[in-house]
Amino acid sequence: MKNKNNGFSLVWVLIIVVITSIVSALTTGVIVYNNNKLTSKVTYADLAKDPELNQFLEVYANIISEYYEDIDKQALLSKAIAAMMNYLGDDYTTYLNDEDTSDLVDSLSGEYRGIGISINNNTKVITKVYDDTPAQEAGIKEGDIIISFNGEENLSVSDIATKIKESTGDFTLKLKRGDNEIEITLANKTIINPSIDYYMIENTKIGYLYISAFSKTLDQQVKKALTKLEQEGMTSLIIDLRDDTGGYLDAAHNVASMFIEKGKIIYSLDYKGNVTNYKDETEAQKNYDLVVLINGNSASASEILAAALKESYGAKLVGETSFGKGKVQQTMPLDDGSMIKYTSAKWLTPNGVCIDKVGLIPDYPISNEEVTDENGNVTEIIDRQLEKAVAILAN
């Protein structure tokens, strides 16, 4: 065995080299305030004095220099990072590989590259053409069937979607429309990915707004929806957050700001006992009656918005007790495309309540009604929660 004192006189060199690479990977995307500051609380100098980190570096150096086989250093450090996340024992603190990171970022980006259509995976029938998109402008219609992309036939829906997304110029789709075949030439563009659905409840002045995810573009979509509903004569509104598991905190804050009076609390963050209130700082506000639908899958940002609208606006909650996720997470992208996601604080309702593992209790608890056949199979779900919300606003 080699003399470790000789081998590890390099520790202070490694402090400069190895620690820099490790911590640089861990802080990608974080603004560096000066040449040696890593966060607002930790500097390189602090790390150089940390005996536990020095021990970690000794182990790392020993493995990469003394292990009998070649070591994939990036894979080794990825495992070490994942182990740190697992050690914390927090359900919401985790390491995401590059594929999971990409999926998460894409799902919450609120936009995508495409032409604005939905396609049936089996039949290649276009089931939806979205407003203000290249597909609508080019005259593509719901019910059209995609035959080919730039002359290539027998492509899967996944292949078609990829080719449309990656196209850098005009391309041609051959479509079957009724008994005819037509060709349409168009180009893709960046499109807002719909996170909402909205309409007026028939024979009423009640608007309905469903939110499926708290994406980066949610506030733009909600603002547009409210404008259209108000133009159609809306005097009260139902916001449906059922089965919405959350997303970006800023999205919840921005949507709440459209309704709540300036200066009122939207939520608070509790970091190690230090509470910071986040208030509405906008001039925008609404004054119509509001009901929010929630259920056991309404979580995180959904709960933040629901609590803010209830306690700082006066909305009524209808449905079932929400999930109860009273923590917020930060994300930190790493150089290899992976990411760590860790809990950074508890969030509190405007009244200072932490709902973690408790949830929001509705003002009007009610469940939907399942209709079953003679074999016990569910054949229909009657939306009693929506019915109750309409009844409240109709009075």
Could you tell me the two tokens for 234?
A: 């809306």
Alpha-carbon gap, residue 219 to 107, rounded angstroms: 16
Residue 379's pLDDT is 87
Point out which residues pair with 152 in neighbouring strands: 149
List, for residues 316-327, the tens digit of each pLDDT value: 999 999 999 999
Domains, the chain, ordered by start: 4-71 (no CATH), 111-192 (2.30.42.10), 196-394 (3.90.226.10)
Residue 34's pLDDT is 35
- Residues 93/85, Cβ–Cβ less than 8 Å: yes
Could you tell me the two tokens for 50?
A: 């940390």
Residue 118's pLDDT is 87
Task: Give the 3-state secondary structure of residue 50.
Answer: coil
Point out which residues pair with 113 in neighbouring strands: 190
Q: With b meaning 16 or more CB within 10 Å and e meaning fewer, what string describes 95-108?
A: bbeeeebeeeeeeb
- Residues 165/192, Cβ–Cβ less than 8 Å: no
- Residues 229/197, Cβ–Cβ less than 8 Å: no
Residue 285's pLDDT is 95
Per-residue pLDDT of the chain (395 residues; tens, 9 = 90+): 444 443 333 334 333 333 433 333 332 222 222 334 456 678 888 888 888 888 888 888 899 988 889 999 888 888 888 888 888 888 888 888 888 777 777 767 777 789 989 898 889 999 989 888 999 999 999 999 999 999 999 999 989 999 998 999 999 999 999 999 999 999 999 888 788 999 999 999 999 999 999 998 999 999 999 999 999 999 999 999 999 999 899 999 999 999 999 999 999 999 999 999 999 999 999 999 999 999 999 999 999 999 999 999 999 999 999 999 999 988 888 888 888 888 889 999 999 999 999 999 999 999 999 888 888 888 889 999 999 999 999 98
Long-range contacts from 11-16, C-beta under 8 angstroms, 24+ separation: 11/54, 11/57, 11/58, 11/61, 12/48, 14/57, 14/61, 15/44, 15/47, 15/48, 15/54, 15/57
Question: Alpha helix (H) ranges present in 298-348?
Answer: 301-313
Residues 6+ apart with CB under 8 A from 315: 239, 290, 291, 292, 306, 309
- Residues 79/340, Cβ–Cβ less than 8 Å: no
Task: Give the 3-state secondary structure of residue 238.
Answer: strand
**pTM for the whole thing?**
0.74
DSSP 3-state percent helix, strand, coil across the chain (nearest 5) = 35, 30, 40
Alpha-carbon gap, residue 334 to 26, rounded angstroms: 6
Residue 256's pLDDT is 98
List, as one string, the DSSP characters of 66-85.
HSSS---HHHHHHHHHHHHH
310 sits in the region (left: phi over 0; alpha: psi -120 to 50; else beta) called: alpha
Alpha-carbon gap, residue 363 to 18, rounded angstroms: 56
